[in-house]
Amino acid sequence: MISIGIDVGSVAAKAAAYDGEKIIATALLPTGWSPRESGEQLLKEIMGDLNITRDDISTIVGTGYGRVSLSFIDKKVTEITCHGRGAHYIDPNIRTVIDIGGQDSKLIKLNDKGTVIDFLMNDKCAAGTGRFLQVMANALEVGVGDLSELASGTEPANINSMCTVFAESEVVSLMAEGASKEAIASGLLHSVCNKTYSLASRMGVEDKVFFSGGVSKNKKLGQLLSNKLGAEIISSNESQFLGAIGAAIIGYK
Amino acid sequence: MRPEIMEEVEALRGVNSVKIKEAHEAGKKVVGMYCVFSPQEIALAADAISVTLCGTAQAPIEDAEKELPRNLCPLIKSSYGFAITDKCPYFYFSDVLLAETTCDGKKKMYELMGKIKPMHIMNLPQTAEGNDALEMWKNEMIKFKSFLEEKFGVEITDEKLKDAIKLMNRERSAMRRLHKLNAHKPAPLTGVDMMLAQWLKGFNVDKEAGIELIERLISEVEERMENGIYAFDENAPRILLTGCPIGSGSEKVLKVLEESGASVVALENCTGYKGLDVLVDESKDPITALAEKYLSTPCSCMTNNNGRLDLIKRLAEEYEIDGVVDLTWQACHTYNIESFTVRNFVKDELNLPFIQIETDYSDSDVGQIKVRVEAFLETIGSTVTA
Ligand code: SF4
Ligand code: SF4
């Protein structure tokens, strides 16, 4: 039998199929205006890819913000538990997951079975999230994807404020003072790194750390985190499927 | 589903707002209080009514923010908002207010509130340890007593104090018995109902009637327990809620917990069990006995506050707790800082899952809190079964 995990996030919906040993297929769609429809569409796609019918599927587990609107699922599990399980699948030595997305950042601590033993999330605030970097990239008039490269090989400018609103004006005044975009970009990444570090320190970080979420595409930030945490950081292209993978595995009995 | 008497309990707020008006018109004095440190007995011995005015609603916050900083604990803003808008009948009918120098936010807010109504401030020591603290607090009891005697033109005798102590001890004992019903597995009452019953006692104009009602509620619940009727089933994760005070209107986190399938069995906060744990010693000189009881309140305004950890430990054992939730109101420094200590204690000493939730009275983050709470409950589920 096959189990399916569907992760409906605010931007994209992801699906993964698990056969008891490994992930055999994944699929992705923009969430669009209807989480339910994109969920259904994904299910169809993945069944088509694998050439299977609903009868071949034992369980469907839904996760992500849109999970409540999926009517066809057997079980709902939060993205925190699913991310943990997904990371464990990718590498069983992972004990910490740092997930920085557009709206929030979370830290998940796992045991050797991939079970979540503790987690932390940022509060109602954009500090240290993808949103923060997006706003700052706009202020710098560069793409958010360029920050990593810009920041490599320069001394960071000092950015004191964690608050998105205040940091934005700091960036503007730094530019007015003639600081280079490179130095500012580097300063911004240091700022996100420090914020993440302080969150992580509350929980303690051991062994391997998996870095996921949209912001994990930023290579420079990954390096900074690795130095600061003194831990090996791994990232993977499958990272955006973490929730769906975890959900599929949780559903498999 | 719910015990029938809960409806009567819930109606108390309305009933009491009429009663307080009648009492006021009949010339009875009313003392409005804000904290578990407030010695209600002294007000009762002055033949006055004591009511709890702690703000637990979002509604008046907007008005409060015209004068107070936004970045302030919602409880303080709500309390002040009620005071300046006259939207709370209990504040309206209070003749005098009693406040204590607890946290900085409250202390400074009271300075402003004191301009609206006559207010007496008791100077609370910052520690419960040592004889100096107790002597000072005893003195504060005496000063409050003199304040009321002068304001209301009455004499507060030791006899009257002793009677008031007995009455309040009876109320505490009844509330404590009610609270302890939820030590049973599964719990007979939801945490929301327990919170309501505990919170609404603060508005009781007629203490005897209030005690009688709680006793009837206990009997009904006990009867339901004999018939196997419980609020949750055996498998519901049992949660201890600690941290900042909550009441009707600020029960968001409690509600999310129970809607997600948890049974909140122990309310360690000062609107729950904290004030019930210690009774006033009836054999001692009343002022000393009162000072000792109130000073023993394990609130985060005190340094150190190890008593809170002891209480959490005792409750965790007695109520067979599966996880601890620490609620912090935004901008409450004392509870927020202490959360780190509580977290380490719960994880390392009690070996229980722990989560801190920092929020305010508004509904804007309910979705996010749900995710956290559900993930927390999944953590409990998997560690219990693994
Ligand atoms: S938390 Fe402490 S200061 Fe606040 S109302 Fe309760 S006892 Fe008073
Ligand atoms: S919750 Fe905290 S900040 Fe608010 S009144 Fe109580 S002790 Fe003060």
Closest ligand 2 atom, CA of B328?
1
- List chain B residues with CB under 8 Å of A99: none
A115 touches chain B (CB under 8 A): yes
Chain-chain contact of A113 with B358 (C-beta, under 8 angstroms): no
Give residue A164's Cα distance to chain centre. Answer: 20
Are the C-beta atoms of residues B190 and B264 closer than 8 Å to each other?
A: yes
Across B18-40, average pLDDT? 96
Closest residue to A119, CB basis, from B367, B375, B382: B375
Angstroms from B304 CA to nearest CA on chain A = 21
Closest residue to B379, CB basis, from A65, A116, A124: A116
Query: Percent of chain B having pLDDT more than 70?
Result: 99
- How many CA atoms, within 13 angstroms, populate the side-chain half-sphere of residue B312? 31
Question: Picking from A55-69, B115-129, B370-384, which range would have the lowest pLDDT averaged per residue?
Answer: B370-384
Comparing alpha-carbon positions, the chain B residue that sits nearest to A105 is B368
Chain-chain contact of B386 with A123 (C-beta, under 8 angstroms): no
pLDDT number for residue B384: 45
A77 touches chain B (CB under 8 A): yes
Chain-chain contact of B383 with A115 (C-beta, under 8 angstroms): yes
β-bridge mates for residue B243, sequence order? B327
State yes or no: ipTM above 0.85.
Answer: no
Residues B184-202: tens digit of each pLDDT: 999 999 999 999 999 999 9
CB under 6 Å to ligand 1: residues?
B 35-37, 102-103, 245, 270, 297, 299, 301
Chain-chain contact of B375 with A116 (C-beta, under 8 angstroms): yes
Q: Which ligand is nearest to the CA of B126?
A: 1
Comparing alpha-carbon positions, the chain A residue that sits nearest to B385 is A115
A201 touches chain B (CB under 8 A): no
Q: How far is the CA of B102 from the centre of ligand 1 (A)?
A: 7
A10, A111, A118, best to mutate vs chain B, most B CBs in 10 Å: A118
Comparing alpha-carbon positions, the chain A residue that sits nearest to B363 is A124
Supply the mean pLDDT for chain B. Answer: 96
Q: How far is the CA of B155 from the centre of ligand 2 (A)?
A: 34
Closest residue to A117, CB basis, from B367, B372, B379: B379
Are the C-beta atoms of residues B166 and B199 closer than 8 Å to each other?
A: no
Are the C-beta atoms of residues A105 and A123 closer than 8 Å to each other?
A: no
Question: Picking from A101-115, B126-140, B141-155, B294-308, which range would have the lowest pLDDT averaged per residue?
Answer: A101-115
Residues B47-82: tens digit of each pLDDT: 999 999 999 999 999 999 999 999 999 999 999 999
A165 touches chain B (CB under 8 A): no
Give residue B183's Cα distance to chain centre. Answer: 19
- List chain B residues with CB under 8 Å of A116: 375, 378-379, 382
Residues B328-375: tens digit of each pLDDT: 999 999 999 999 999 999 999 999 999 999 999 999 889 889 999 999
pLDDT number for residue A123: 66
Indicate if the pLDDT at residue B382 is higher than 90: no
Across B284-310, average pLDDT? 97
Chain-chain contact of A81 with B375 (C-beta, under 8 angstroms): yes
Crossing angle of helices A164-176 and A181-203, rounded to 10°? 150
Are the C-beta atoms of residues B200 and B9 closer than 8 Å to each other?
A: yes
Nearest to B39 by CA among B50, B24, B55: B50
Q: How far is the CA of B66 from the centre of ligand 2 (A)?
A: 20
A121 touches chain B (CB under 8 A): yes
Indicate if the pLDDT at residue B377 is higher than 60: yes
Across B217-236, average pLDDT? 96
pLDDT number for residue A124: 60
A7 touches chain B (CB under 8 A): no
Are the C-beta atoms of residues B254 and B195 closer than 8 Å to each other?
A: yes
Residues of chain A predicted below pLDDT 50: none
What are the helix (H) ranges across chain A?
Answer: 35-50, 79-90, 130-140, 147-151, 164-176, 181-203, 219-229, 242-251
Closest ligand 2 atom, CA of B72?
3
Binning pLDDT at 50, 70 and 90, where does residue B385 land? very low
Chain-chain contact of A124 with B347 (C-beta, under 8 angstroms): no
pLDDT number for residue B383: 54
pLDDT number for residue B386: 36
pLDDT number for residue A207: 78
B31 three-class SS: strand
Across B262-289, average pLDDT? 97
Nearest CA to ligand 2 atom 7: B103
pLDDT number for residue A175: 87
pLDDT number for residue B157: 98
Crossing angle of helices B191-200 and B158-181, rounded to 10°? 170
Indicate if the pLDDT at residue B24 is higher than 90: yes
A99, A112, A113, A116, best to mutate vs chain B, most B CBs in 10 Å: A116
